[in-house]
Structure 1
Amino acid sequence: MTNDRTEQLIRDAFADEAAHAVDSREVLAAVRGRKPRRSYGLVLAAAAVVVVVAAVATFVVPKVFRESTPAATQQHQQATDAITPTNVLVVGTDANDYTDSIVLVRLAEDGTTSVISLPRDSWVSSAGTMTKLNQVYKNSGIDGLAAAVGDLTGAPVDHWAVVDTTAVADLADAVGGVEVCLRRATSDLYSGADFVAGRQVISGDAALPFVRQRHGLPHGDLDRVVRLQVFLRSALAKVTVRQLPALLDAVGDHVRMDPGLDAIGFLQDVLQGGKLRYATIPVGDVDFQTPESGSAIEVDPAQVRQFVTDLPSTPPASGGLPCVN
């Protein structure tokens, strides 16, 4: 970053956003004296979108930062002798603001990245009450969800990003299509999924049904979690740091994030680390009957915390792209 007046204005704008929880585009527009400009983001993994993405998953970076990306990139690389471990919660939401995907992206000091999926129906404790994980977001917002995820995993959430899952289509198009593989042909009226068996490249309108389908799959939502992981793995394998500006352009309107996240630096560290692990927290009974919320997925917090602790030392998956349900 430069030390000119523009940088200070940007910093002041983000500080104001954190204090008043308003749209960052409106703050920047007021500071710079012009109409709001489009914000830019990248879906990770998600989330993930979750889709990620998912990611994805996914992060938003104001255009004023993107315009100085080369200089920011050089300074980030020169100033960083060791990567700062960072935990980013990425939440993928549908048109009704329900969470389709919940992903914790953990960047370790050695550059390895763990993309950890948490099933949305996990039965967890939040503010002293047992509830489904996706209901925490609906009732308590992103801060409540971040606290619940931190308690469950033992990994405090440093930053968060909320991704509109329609970003999946834009991401797939931006990378020239995403290769996936299905064990068998499948179709589903709820998600709009209609796919043949075997390897295929999906993009555009086919991408979202692929990561959203759960009806008609042997393991329901758990299979949807695996779909997202495979989609993100395939998409991110095609991305380089040099391609970031184009991807930021592609999915920017679909994301909001906390103002404290250095998205450019974080994404550079993730991509340059080159070691990504995709995993789902261990679960128990997937048809656990709750007192008031119907069936949920049983999880053991102690088991989940140990799993999250051990994951960075677990060898990443090897071989080619796996076929999934």
Structure 2
Amino acid sequence: MTGFRMLARTAPLLVLLALAVPASSVHPTTLSLNRVETAKSVDFEDGVVWVLVLGRDAEGDTDAIEMLAFDTASGAASGIGIPRDSWVRLPGGLARINEAWSKGGPDLAARAVGDLVGVDPDFVLVTGFEGFLAMTETVGEVEVRSPLAFETDQGRTVERGLNSFNGEQALDFASSRDNLPDDDFDRMANQQALLLGYLRSLRAREDETGFMEDVTLSALAGLETELAPTDLYRLAQAITQVDPAKVTGCLVGGTPFTTSGDAQVIRADEELARRLGRDADKDATLDPDCQG
């Protein structure tokens, strides 16, 4: 296998993870993929691999947070959405979980989310989004099953059920929150629906001549990673084995409250988060009722 063809096989990893949590606005492209030093040894041959995906906003905080689990043996995958306003303890005191990246980079973000879910991620991917449209336009239109009917922040009508989006429409769908009944929680559900839609699209077209190479050129623009090419390739191979029929997703709920400093935050359901983490850590599968 040529070097470029090997890199081409990493495209599903980079595109799927980068598209998993689109941020609320567009920024210069950055894909930063790091291995977490404190994580367990990764077994790509037989076991569950965890990737924490963070969508960074204009202020440098993580506007969207998703823990993805991949079972390299069965092809199952699951996603656990974390409310960005979850109130957690960080160095210096209590703060929103989405501030962990700006305060301590990938290791602190991994620790904060790992403490909540009860599972340490093996890798952390941080995305910026000027390249979002380039990647999605390369992939082409995607069919997404929306859990809700609503009007996006840009005035587009989304039907409950199957919708077809181009890149700009997909970004609008996944980042909108103003007209959603439960804004951030519903937005996390939309992001998971978009992820599954892109997974189906990539799997359907991955054998087309030149398709993966074209996607790779878009996905690799701006990539920064400390992973060796062999590890990057093995991680990508784990992703390409995912069966869309074996993908499940759940959201960590919580209770909104106001802090003594008048900050509007969320008291995340820590018990549920840990049950979901234990459930997915076994075989990257979550119960449909999302109770763990």
**One-letter amino acid of the structure 2 residue matched with residue 97 of structure 1:** G
Shift of 1:81: 8.7
Residue identity opposite 1:197 in structure 2:
E
Question: Is 1:121 matched up with 2:85?
Answer: yes
Number of the residue aligned with 2:157: 195
Task: List runs of 5+ in structure 1 lacking aligned partners.
Answer: 7-38, 53-57, 62-79, 318-325
Question: Secondary structure of the residue that 2:177 maps to in structure 1?
Answer: coil
Residue matched to 2:188:
225
RMSD: 3.3
Distance 1:84 1:181 in 2: 29
Structure 2, gaps ≥5 residues long: 4-9, 25-29, 34-42
AA at the equivalent of 1:273: V
| CA contact 1:288–1:298 (8 Å) conserved in 2 | yes
**Maintained 8 Å contact 2:32/2:126:** no
- Cα offset, 1:99, TM superposition: 1.6
Q: Is the contact made by 1:94 and 1:165 (CA closer than 8 Å) also made in structure 2? A: no
Q: CA deviation at 1:218?
A: 0.6
Q: Which protein has the larger Cα radius of gyration, Structure 1 or Structure 2?
A: 1
154-163 or 90-99: which moved more?
90-99
1:168 Cα deviation after fit: 3.4
Cα pair distance change 1:45/1:81, threshold 3 Å: closer
Q: For residues 72 and 163 of structure 2, what CA distance do their matches in structure 1 show?
A: 36
> 2:168 is matched with which residue?
205
Amino acid at match of 2:163: Q
Query: CA separation in 2, counterparts of 1:51 and 1:263?
Result: 24
Distance (whole Å) between structure 1 residues aligned to residue 191 and residue 180 of structure 2:
14
Q: Paired residue for 1:276, among 247, 255, 266?
A: 247
1:251 matched to 2:251? The reply is no
Q: Describe the shift of the 1:115–1:313 C-alpha distance in structure 2 as closer, same or farther (beyond 3 A).
A: closer
- How far is 1:170 from its partner? 2.7
Distance in 2, matches of 1:293 and 1:259, equals: 42
Q: What does residue 289 of structure 1 align with?
A: 258
- The amino acid across from 1:222 in the alignment is F
8 Å CA contact 2:45–2:72 kept in 1: the answer is yes
Deviations 1:274-308 (Å, cap 9, x if unpaired)? 13222222x221x2212336111111333311221
TM-score, length of structure 1 as denominator length: 0.67
Q: SS at 1:120's partner residue? A: coil
Are 2:152 and 2:173, in contact at CA under 8 Å, matched by a contact in 1? no
Against the structure 1 CA distance between its residues 238 and 60, is the aligned structure 2 distance closer, same or farther, given a 3 Å change threshold? farther
- Name the structure 2 match of 1:146: 110
| Distance in 1 (alpha carbons) for counterparts of 2:285 and 2:225 | 29
CA apart distance, 1:316:
6.3
For residue 121 of structure 1, report the CA deviation from its aligned partner. Answer: 0.9
Shift of 1:252: 2.4
Distance 1:133 1:152, change over 3 A: same
SS in 2 for 1:239: helix
Residue 308 of structure 1: which of 277, 288, 291 is its match?
Answer: 277
Deviation readout 1:175-211 (Å, 9 max, x if unpaired): 22112355434142xxx35235354321132222211
Separation (CA, whole Å) in 1 of partners of 2:213 and 2:46: 22
Name the structure 1 match of 2:14: 42
SS in 2 for 1:236: helix
One-letter amino acid of the structure 2 residue matched with residue 265 of structure 1: R
The one-letter code of the counterpart of 1:226 is: A
CA deviation vs aligned residue, 1:205-255 (integer Å, no higher than 9, x gap): 222221111112110111111111111111111113545433222232354
| Distance verdict in 2 for CA 1:51–1:259, change over 3 Å | farther
Question: 1:102, CA displacement in angstroms?
Answer: 1.0
1:98 counterpart = 2:61 = yes
CA distance in 2, matches of 1:267, 1:44: 10
- State the partner residue of 1:55: none
Confirm or deny: 8 A CA contact 2:83 2:185 kept in the other structure.
yes
Is the Cα–Cα contact under 8 Å of residues 91 and 161 in structure 1 kept in the other structure?
Answer: yes
Structure 1 residue 299 and structure 2 residue 281: aligned? no
- Measure, in 1, the Cα distance between the counterparts of 2:149 and 2:59: 31
**Are the counterparts in 1 of residues 141 and 165 from structure 2 also a CA contact under 8 Å?**
yes
